[in-house]
Amino acid sequence: MTGTEGKRDVSAQQTIHVGGEWLSAASGATREILDPADAKPFAVIAEGSTEDADAAIAAARKAFDEGPWPSTPVAERAALLRRVADLLVRDREEIGLLESRDAGKTLEEGRVDVDCVADAFRYFADLVIGEGAGRVVDAGSDDIHSVVVHEPVGVCTMITPWNYPLLQASWKIAPALAAGNTFVIKPSEVTPLTTVALIELLVEAGLPAGVANIVTGPGHTVGARLSDHPDVDLVSFTGGLVSGTKVAQAAALGVKKVALELGGKNPNVVFADACATEEGFDTAVDQALNAAFIHSGQVCSAGGRLIIEESVRERFVAELARRAQKIKLGRGTEEGVECGPLVSRQQREKTEMYVASALEEGAVLRCGGKRPEPSEVRPAEGYFYEPTVLDQCHRGMKVVREEVFGPVLTVETFTTEDEAVALANDTEYGLAGAVWTTDSGLARRMARRMRHGTIWINDFHPYLPQAEWGGFGKSGVGRELGPAGLAEYRESKHIYQNLAPAPVRWFAG
C-alpha cells in the first residue's frame, strides 16, 4: 500500500519516499543488502538515480515554499519530535535488530543506538521549545526596536555513512525538523534499512507530506545530485574526506550552506600515573580496548592511536594484546558475541592493506592481523577480522596517518608532556581525543592544548546530545548536536523597526 496510509509495499522494494508516497526507483533498479556476518542478501531496496533525486528535491521544495511545516508553531513541531522518540522506544527491539543485521554490530549496540536516537529527538524538541521569540538588540534608543530572529534554511539534503546509519540520520533530521526545514536524505547504499524505518516513523507521527523524503541509491549519482541541485539550500554530509571534499566543491558552486563531518585519527594519550594502581591500570587498558575495538573500529571517533608514556608501554601493551585476543567475534545477534564483522568485503580488504603496509614499514604485530577461524557464530563467508595491535609505530607510517576504519590499534610512545601534545596533534584530522592521568592540572593543560573537537579526560567515547560534536582541520566544517547543531539548520534575520520615523535630511533639496 502507498499514499495516504503512509505504508509501503515491502515486496515491491519501495524504499524511496517522495512527497508522501512510497515508491520504487523510477528506473525499476534494485540492490541487494548483504548481512556482513555471512555475506548473504537479506533485503532488497530500490536503487534510485538522479531522476529520483530530482523528484525528491522538487517535493521538498514545494513542501517548504507552499506547505505548512515551516510556519507550524514551535510547540507543534516539538510535539511531533517527541512522538517520534516515543515510537522509537516502542520499536526498539525491531529497529535495534535491523541495525545489527544491516551494519554488523552487536544487538546490544543496535539497541543503544535506538536509545540515543530517541534522546536526540527529545533534546531538540526541548531546545527549540525553550527558546524565546528572538534576541533583542539594544540599539541605544527607545525609538528603535531591534531583534534577531531565526528562520529555517529551506530545503536540506543529507548524506549519511554506513557505520552508524540510524544515529547519524537522527543528528541531521531532528534539528532540521525542529527548525522548520524540509529535507531529502540519502543513506549509505550499504546500510540503508534503519533510515527507511525512521522515515516510516516520521510519517506515522504525522509529519506533513513532502517534508521528509528519502532516496536510496549510490553516492556518485544520488549523492552528487543532492549536493549540486540548485533548489537545495543546505547540504549536510557525514563520511570520508575524499567524498566530503567533492560534496563541498559541488555545493560551493551554488553557494549553499555546508556541514561536513569527515572522520578522524583520534589519539588516546595515557600517562604513567594513570596506571600507578592496579585499578587505574585495569581501567585504562579496558578503556583502550573500548576506544579502538567497539563496532570493530568502524567509528569516526575510534581511539585507534594509543600514545602511551614509555615507562609503562611494555606492560600496558602486553595486557592490551592479551585481552584483545579474547574478544569474542561473531554474528552480532548471537548471545555472548562482543564484536561483529566489518561492514563489507571492501572494508576488510582495506583493513588488511593497512596492516600489511604497517608491517612492511616496521611495526611489530602483538596480536591479530588476520581473519579468524570460522565457527558456529562466525561463518566463513562473513567479513570478520581479528582485533589487531601494532606496536612500535611512528608518524611516518600510513596506518598512523590515515583513517583505517577497522579493528586496528597503533602504539606510539612519549616521555614528556610536550612530546605527548605534539604526537596527539600531529594529524590532519582533529575530531576527538582522550587523556588519562590522575593529575588534574596536567589533564586540564592537555585538554586545552589538544586540537580536537572533543576531549575526554579519563574516559573515551561518550557524547551528550546537549554538547556540540565536530572537529578541527580536515575532520570537517560545522557542528552537530547542541545549540550549534540546531543553528546549522537556521538563518539569522535582523529586524530593525524605527518607532518614530522622521526625515534624515541627508540630501538638501
> What is the DSSP code (8-state) at residue 221?
I
Whether the Cβ atoms of residue 501 and residue 149 lie closer than 8 Å to each other? no
Which grid coordinates belong to 27? Answer: 528506473
CA torsion, ordered 302, 430, 152, 53, to nearest 10 deg = -60
Considering only CA atoms, which of 110, 124, 118 is closest in space to residue 163?
Answer: 110
Which grid coordinates belong to 63? Answer: 513542501
Find cell 590532519 and name the residue.
428
Q: Please give the Cα distance from 227 to 430 (Å, whole number).
A: 24
Q: What is the largest CA-CA distance in the chain?
A: 94
The residues carrying an active-site annotation are 261, 300
Considering only CA atoms, which of 481, 428, 432, 473 is closest in space to residue 452?
Answer: 432
Q: Nearest-5° angle of CA 465, CA 287, CA 452?
A: 50
Whether the Cβ atoms of residue 250 and residue 228 lie closer than 8 Å to each other? yes
206-224 b/e (C-beta count within 10 Å ≥ 16 → b): ebebbbbbbbbbebebbbb
Question: Which strands make up the sheet holding 234-238, listed edge to edge?
Answer: 21-23, 16-18, 212-214, 182-186, 155-159, 234-238, 257-261, 476-477
> What is the DSSP code (8-state) at residue 501?
-
